[in-house]
Amino acid sequence: MMAVAVLGLVVSTVIYGLTRANWSATSERNRSVARAYCQQSIEQALTGRYDPPRRVPAVFGTWPVPGTETEVVNETVPLFTDSQSGSQPVNATRTCRVTLLANNVVRFTARVAWQYRGQNFTLDLHTLRAPDTIR
């Protein structure tokens, strides 16, 4: 009888440990995909020709950007979908903000926010962009 109780305890501990490892792996997968979405937005901000007011990356929105932080992108993006297992898809909101600083320097912020297992997560990446030409 004691052996059955010990065996049950060991099995339940192993199952719990494997479940927690799976939750952790899924959480990190979500974070990796969120980072990729942020990096994609940052790359769009850095690779486009920036010579204001004539040439401005499309991701900056309308030009001129007001001095306050302006939201230029707000969209829903998928973080995790698995059609075979039937698990609940995880969607996130990608938000990009632009702030015009002195001398046409722009601060660009990409944020991805999502909810997983009842907890809220966010990931922010920031960059500064100066004009390509000096006047």
Say how many C-beta atoms besides its own lie within 10 A of residue 66's C-beta: 10
Residue 83: predicted pLDDT = 61
Q: What is the mean pLDDT of residues 116-123?
A: 90
Write down the pLDDT at residue 111: 95
**How many CB atoms within 10 Å of residue 9?**
10
Tallying the residues shown for the chain, one arrives at 135
**Quick one: pLDDT at residue 4?**
84
Q: What does the pLDDT read at residue 128?
A: 94
Whether the bond into 64 is cis, omega within 30 of 0? yes
* In the chain, % of residues over pLDDT 90: 33
Tell me the per-residue pLDDT of 47-94, one tens digit each, with 9 for 90 and over: 988 888 888 888 888 888 777 788 888 999 988 776 655 567 889 999
Angstrom distance (rounded) from CA 42 to CA 46 = 6
Evaluate whether 87 touches 34 at the Cβ level (below 8 Å): no
pTM: 0.79
Least confident interval from 29-33, 43-47, 55-59, 95-99: 55-59
Residue 85's pLDDT is 57
Mean residue pLDDT across the chain: 85
**What strands lie across the sheet with 106-116, from one edge to the other?**
70-80, 90-100, 106-116, 119-129
**Is residue 117 over pLDDT 60?**
yes
